[in-house]
Amino acid sequence: MSAPPTTARRGPSAATVASAAVLCLLELGAAFGAYSALAMRPDGPWDDDVLLAVEIAAYLAIGLALPALGLTVLAVRRNWLRAWWFVLPALLLAVAVARLIHIDQAYPLHRV
């Protein structure tokens, strides 16, 4: 009797590792921007410096989450990554947009 043939399990492909590494870097930067946007609390509508910093941090998160979503679409369509990789960039994008909307609603510009 001969032993049944075994299929050797291969490791992840280079494309999987590369896309995961780039996504992790993009998502880390987007998470920093989203956290910074949420952590800063303006004292009031007159606190222009903090309001500007919140907007910059939120736009940073959006600017890094959008390419991460694009790369995730490519990687999932090519079967390099699984679909759950969409969760984090979509969540970070939603948090950043929600913070921008909140800042716009809570601290409207005073026009003379």
Spans of all domains in the chain: 30-106
Task: Work out the pLDDT band at 8, boundaries 50, 70, 90.
Answer: low
CA distance 112 to 102: 23
- pLDDT per residue as tens digits for the range 44-84: 888 889 999 999 999 999 999 999 999 999 999 999 999 99
- pLDDT per residue as tens digits for the range 81-100: 999 999 999 999 999 999 99
CA distance 28 to 8: 34
CA distance 32 to 1: 60
pTM of the model: 0.83
